[in-house]
Amino acid sequence: MDYLSNCLHDLTALGPGGLPAVMVALFLAGLAGGATHCAGMCGPFVIAQAAAVADRAQAGGMLARLSGAALLPYHLGRMLGYGMLGAVAGGLAGVVAFGTGLRFVLAVLLGVAALLMFAQASARIAALLPRMPAPRLPAGLQRRLGGLLSAPTGLRGVALGLMLSALPCGLLYGALAGAAATGSMLGGALAMVAFVAGTMPALMGVALLGRFFGRRAGPGMRMVGAALFTLNGVMLAAMAVRVAA
């Protein structure tokens, strides 16, 4: 059946320019959320990794220190983990949309993503939504966390990024709703990779400067973050209207 093929790799479910627009919106969400959300929630994991490689990084000079703060294996693992989540979400949404002919489902998902992004921008809107459970890893993953954090290099860093991509949060749900709206596994994966890329600058700043980054950049970034969340919420809402029309 053609629709099953579409659910795997179709990149045109949202019309011309639809997937690039979702990727831009989720990249902006990642930029905003990286400093206002991820730096606080994932900061301890990032700082622990940076501390674990600090001695070797210091011995290698500034370039080694910057390389250590980049934590590229960890971010590669995050991209793989979030990409898989996006692929599942996009594929399932595609099955519903293309298999039943209810393409308005994609518009609904874009609307949900827009609402969750507006909630990130405004505490008043967030207060109207159901309270999200506190982010926690499953018990089995928590037991493995300490060992990976003690030596987060190479494949261990990749495994740590994969593990922490299972950490639930409201920002992730919004990004996944946007990724699902692409209507295909490939589209959903690409959208989530764009989201992760947006979160990387702030997390690298935390790894390099520790809590100093949050104290210095936090107040200004909250205002910038609210503006960016509002912008990508508007983008997603406009796309939802276009798809539904």
The residues, any chain, with a CB within 8 Å of residue 130's CB and separated by 6 or more, are none
Rounded Cα distance, 90 and 97, in Å: 10
117: nearest Cα among 231, 217, 239, 40:
231
On the CB side of 162, how many CA atoms lie within 13 Å of its CA?
A: 10
Residues whose CB is less than 8 angstroms from the CB of residue 38 and which lie 6 or more positions away in sequence, other chains included:
171, 199, 202, 203
Say if residues 24 and 201 touch (Cβ distance below 8 Å).
no
pLDDT tens, position by position, for the chain (245 residues)?
Answer: 566 666 677 788 888 888 999 999 999 999 888 877 776 777 777 777 777 766 555 545 555 455 555 678 888 999 999 999 999 999 999 898 888 878 889 999 999 999 999 888 887 777 777 776 666 666 666 666 666 766 667 788 888 888 888 777 888 899 999 999 999 999 999 999 999 999 988 888 777 776 555 555 555 667 777 888 888 889 999 999 988 87
Q: Domain coordinates of the chain in residue numbers? A: 22-128+138-244
Residue 93 confidence (pLDDT): 92
The pTM (predicted TM-score) of the whole model is 0.86
Q: How far apart are CA 29 and CA 22, in angstroms?
A: 10
